[in-house]
């Protein structure tokens, strides 16, 4: 979020209020401290943790906030749009969990395509607004590609990164924050 949201806002000369997920606020708080340590003036980069229903709603309705950029669920995006319209008609940018396609043609190196596809699907535990979890494969290599991707999936470790059984496989994944994030096969 910081690279996609905060960096461009600062480059444009804007102040930022970052409201991280209530489940994972520590990274945003730490980055705010690092921004201050780097010399960014107080009040330019702010982190405001809290529940979406209260803190997020207050931000969406605040008359002195001119722009909201949100990544998350369709339901929350809808609430933000309504709150923004009911307040000062602020600008709103929403990224609401689209499924970015991965295209694999028969000219591809199948093993490499499977590696990149696996990364695209499971990076950051699949919690990525541009996760390429919709895969379109040319029919002539479909079976070969599916087998290669299946092998990648079988090597994925599910669980906490701090668990030594998972950490060697999970360098590109974060721990799960909710039971509903678990995939049961």
Strands 16-18 and 45-47: parallel
Task: Say if residues 173 and 127 touch (Cβ distance below 8 Å).
Answer: no
Phi/psi for 43 (5° steps) reads 90, -10
- What pairing do the DSSP bridges indicate for beta strands 45-47 and 67-71? unpaired
95 is catalytic: yes
Residue 40 gets which letter from DSSP? Answer: P
What is the CB-side half-sphere exposure of residue 23 using CA atoms within 13 A? 9
129, 130, 139, 156: the catalytic one is 129
**129 labelled catalytic:** yes
Rounded distance between C-alpha atoms, residue 171 and residue 14, angstroms: 34
Residues contacting 110, CB < 8 A, separation 6+: 104, 141, 144, 145, 148
Say how far apart CA 66 and CA 84 lie, in whole Å.
9
Q: Which of 22, 95, 111, 156 is catalytic?
A: 95
Asked whether the beta carbons of 90 and 121 are under 8 A apart, the reply is no
Q: What is the set of active-site residues?
A: 95, 129
């Amino acid at each position: 979020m910081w690279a996609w949201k905060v960096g461009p806002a600062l480059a444009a000369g804007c102040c930022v209020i970052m409201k991280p997920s209530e489940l994972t606020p520590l990274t945003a708080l730490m980055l705010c401290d690092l921004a201050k340590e780097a010399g960014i003036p107080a009040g330019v980069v702010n982190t405001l943790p809290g529940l979406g229903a209260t803190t997020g709603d207050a931000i969406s309705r605040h008359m002195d906030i001119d722009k909201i950029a949100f990544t998350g669920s369709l339901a929350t995006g809808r609430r933000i749009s309504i709150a923004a319209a009911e307040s000062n008609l602020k600008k709103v940018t929403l990224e609401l969990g689209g499924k970015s396609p991965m295209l694999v043609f028969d000219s591809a190196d199948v093993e490499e395509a499977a590696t990149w596809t696996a990364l695209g699907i499971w990076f950051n535990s699949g919690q990525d607004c541009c996760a390429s979890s919709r895969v379109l494969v040319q029919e002539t290599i479909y079976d070969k590609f599916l087998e290669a991707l299946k092998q990648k999936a079988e090597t994925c470790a599910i669980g906490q990164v701090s668990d030594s059984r998972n950490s060697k496989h999970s360098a590109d994944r974060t721990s799960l924050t909710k039971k509903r994030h678990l995939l049961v096969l």
